[in-house]
Amino acid sequence: MNDLTYPVVIAPLTAADGGGFAATVPDLPGCMSEGETPEEALRNVRDAIEAWIEKAHELGHAIPQPSHAPLRAAG
């Protein structure tokens, strides 16, 4: 997977939408996934991020930088 770390928003889905959780990546328009739990949604959206970036490369589109730098441990 790409070494860039993108912020992910995880939100519960309504029962009408099938329940579970949605994970979206605001920096990558249309990049999203779902899961039964927040953890599963996060695992699934990692695959979606990779696929989004691969497709953007194929199409010759620029890959946006993450809007927030990943946190790093001091040391």
Any domain includes 70: no
Any domain includes 50: yes
Any domain includes 44: yes
Any domain includes 42: yes
Reported as a single tens digit per residue, the pLDDT across 39-74 is 999 999 999 999 999 999 999 999 999 997 554 444
Q: For 24, phi and psi rounded to 5 degrees?
A: -120, 155
Task: Indicate the pTM of the whole model.
Answer: 0.81
And the tokens for 21? 């959780």
Any domain includes 53: yes
DSSP structural state of residue 67? S
Any domain includes 22: yes
- The domain in which residue 33 lies consists of 9-59
Average pLDDT, the chain: 88
**Count of domains observed in the chain:** 1
